[in-house]
Amino acid sequence: MPEEIQVVEEVTIEHDVPADLQGLTEEQVNQVIADSKLADLRARRTMLLEKTDWTQNADVPQATKDKWAEYRQALRDITINYQSLDGVDWPTPPS
């Protein structure tokens, strides 16, 4: 009975690799991507926090500060449960 021969074709996909990623291992590239995604998440979080900075000014009533404190803390804690913007369940600001 003849042996079955399997032909495997090697395919090379060429794409531009940024100069700062050339020569990195796959693990290193994955870490760079993960770091970038986390940086995007932190940037979005920072923007949302900055929009609510007014709630902590000295001339803002304590009741208003208290109302926003939980929301602002939830924003600060967002990186505990998420490492990128994918699927983030953002806290709802108080009304």
CB 58 within 8 A of CB 49: no
Q: What is the pLDDT of residue 18?
A: 76
Q: Which is more confidently placed, 18 or 34?
A: 34
Looking up tokens 């900075």 gives 53
Q: Is the pLDDT of residue 3 over 80?
A: no
Buried/exposed code over 74-87 (b: 16+ C-beta within 10 A; e: otherwise) = ebeebeeebeeeee
DSSP three-state, residue 13:
coil
41 vs 45: CA distance, rounded Å: 6
Average pLDDT over residues 58-78: 97
Instruction: Assign 3-state DSSP to the chain and report helix, strand, coil percentages, each to 5.
Output: 55, 0, 45
Q: Which is more confidently placed, 4 or 91?
A: 91
Q: What is the pLDDT of residue 24?
A: 87
Q: Is the pLDDT of residue 81 over 90?
A: yes
